[in-house]
Structure 1
Amino acid sequence: MKSLLRYLLFSVLLAVGQISYAAGLQVTPIVLDIKQTQKSDGLWLTNTSNADMDVQVRVFKWDQNNRTDVLNPTSDFVASPPMIKIQSGNKQFVRLVRVGQAQAQIEQAYRIVVDELPLESAASKGLTFALRYSVPVFIQGMSTSTPALLKWHLEPGTKGNVLLTISNSGTTRAKLSDLKFTSNKGQTLVINQGLFGYALANSTRQWSVSRQSRLFASGGTFHAVMNGKTLQVSVPGFGL
């Protein structure tokens, strides 16, 4: 299960061995938002390569416990079909059906993990190419939604790194992108370009953001894009 946490974002894995064909699995959409009353939704899987491919689809409940992402198998959703062979140039619709899930007051988060599996012929030749998508799925809560409300905190880590902890007391997630930090002394560090991560509803998430402790020690301002809107947050330092 721990290995799944490495793939919260789309990842491409290349193991030792020569690849004889190009990667060609495409998944759309890249995020699913499901209403409380909605019973099903789905993904389109497209094979754009010149070879047939076997694909596996699994569903996991996504929580943030002990300040980290946790994925656990769930029966709240059923993927149909869960195992697929997609011929070259073809596409397949995978239906995601909600099954007996208790209604929750706040937004619930899941991950649909889609794996391209090596064909038997490729495996026999030592070709171990694998492609994985991890698609976020969010189910609207029953209560009136409140925007993400974040509390930011900096602290030194035990390995000479700097830890950023974000607590979200809102009932919907915060999607954070393009994160940078400007210290109170005027120095700027670009931490991440593109997607940085999510702070799920009513959850706390922690990241290691740098090993430049002195830059963060006096505090400063984080600049980011949250749910598509620019954001600036002043955060106190921790001294050294």
Structure 2
Amino acid sequence: MARMTAMRGCLLATAVIAGSLAALLPGKAALAGSFQVNPVNINLPADKATAALTIRNEDDAPLSVRISAFAWTQENGADVYTPTKDVLATPPIVTIPAKGSQTVRVGLRKRDTSAERTYRVIVEEIPQQIEGKTAVQMVLRLNLPLYALPKTEGKSELSWSAWRDTDGNMVVEGRNSGSLHEQVLELNAKTASGKSINLSKTMGVVLPGSARQWKIGKPEGLTPGASFQLVTKTAHGENQESLTLEKR
């Protein structure tokens, strides 16, 4: 089964250029639709069969979009998407009038409420067919997380480690031994001398029973063997943990 490593971030809005490098050719117009999706985090409680997704067309012309899904896991500290038919979107393809909106119901074919299941829902514009015009179309593609929540109440439990890799770059890894995902908003470090260093403002999610890595680079003041306080800002607040920067 084909798999795709995901880009980091809980919400990814990317413009995909039809025709690959055709966007670089001079003398061609660029066409793009505009739409909003609410909510950007889709939570499916154990006692609900579906969740509602509202898509609003901000354009002055009708807009068609398709909804697809991937199973979302993490391997070797990175997000991995796997094509799946587990997620149902009703309807899977919609045409929304100018300045109008459409509600799409998202659910699972077979629900297992014993543990949290995670997916990514892709809402993607369908390129327009324009006769007699030469244009490059910008296709808007939104990537949304879907959390199918378990029946029993749970929580995330993060532990952290940090090291310098063979290239000398710092890597910070969060490992989640809990039963629910955790959304990490920011990573900072406080050195033994009291210096505060921003490590990353790249938002990421650590899935239950998984690990996620942040590639930091080479921040000054943090050398292999140095002790520091890792300050993590999550959706549930701020935490500190004492770490030693390892060398691997």
Q: TM-score, normalised by structure 2?
A: 0.84
One-letter identity of the residue aligned with 2:208 = A
RMSD: 2.6
Q: Tell me how far apart the structure 1 counterparts of residues 113 and 78 of structure 2 sit (CA, whole Å).
A: 21
Residue 205 of structure 1 aligns to a residue in which SS? strand
Question: Alignment partner for residue 189 of structure 2, among 176, 181, 185?
Answer: 181
Distance 1:113 1:62, change over 3 A: same
User: Relative to total residues, which structure has the larger strand share, 1 or 2?
Assistant: 2
More helix by share: 1
Show the counterpart of 1:72: 82
Which residue pairs with 2:242 in the alignment?
A: 234
Q: Distance in 2 between matches of 1:126 and 1:183?
A: 54
Q: Normalization by structure 1: what TM-score?
A: 0.87
For these two proteins, the number of residue pairs brought into alignment is: 237
- C-alpha distance in structure 1 between counterparts of 2:132 and 2:87, whole Å: 31
Q: How does 1:1-240 map to 2 (within 5 A)?
A: 5-6=6-7, 8=9, 9-13=11-15, 15=17, 16=23, 23-101=33-111, 103-121=112-130, 125-142=134-151, 144-193=152-201, 196-212=203-219, 215-217=222-224, 218-238=226-246
CA shift in 2, pair 1:81/1:154, >3 Å = same
Q: Distance in 1 between matches of 2:109 and 2:154?
A: 26
Aligned identity (percent) is 23
Contact 1:53-1:86 at 8 Å conserved across structures = yes
Q: 1:35 to 1:168 in 2, by over 3 A?
A: same
Q: Tell me the secondary structure at the aligned position of residue 94 of structure 1.
A: strand
Cα gap change, 1:84 to 1:124, in 2 (>3 Å): farther
Structure 2 residue runs of 5 or longer lacking an equivalent are: 18-22
Shift of 1:176: 0.7
1:222, CA displacement in angstroms? 2.0
Q: Distance in 2 between matches of 1:219 and 1:92?
A: 53
Give the deviation of 1:151 after TM superposition. Answer: 1.0
Residue 161 of structure 2 aligns to a residue in which SS? strand
The alpha-carbon distance between structure 1 residues 52 and 104, as it changes in their structure 2 partners (threshold 3 A), is same
Counterpart of 1:45, as a letter, is: I
> AA paired with 1:64?
Q
Q: CA deviation at 1:173?
A: 0.8
Q: Which whole-Å CA distance do the structure 2 matches of 1:62 and 1:99 have between them?
A: 16
Relative distance call for 1:4 and 1:239 in structure 2 (3 A) is closer
Pick which of 165-174 and 220-229 moved more. 220-229
Change (3 A) 1:156 1:192: closer
**Conservation of the 8 A alpha-carbon contact between 1:179 and 1:196:** no
Structure 1 residue ranges without an equivalent (≥5)? none
Q: Which runs of 4+ in 1 moved over 4 A?
A: 1-4, 17-23
Q: Distance in 1 between matches of 2:131 and 2:198?
A: 41
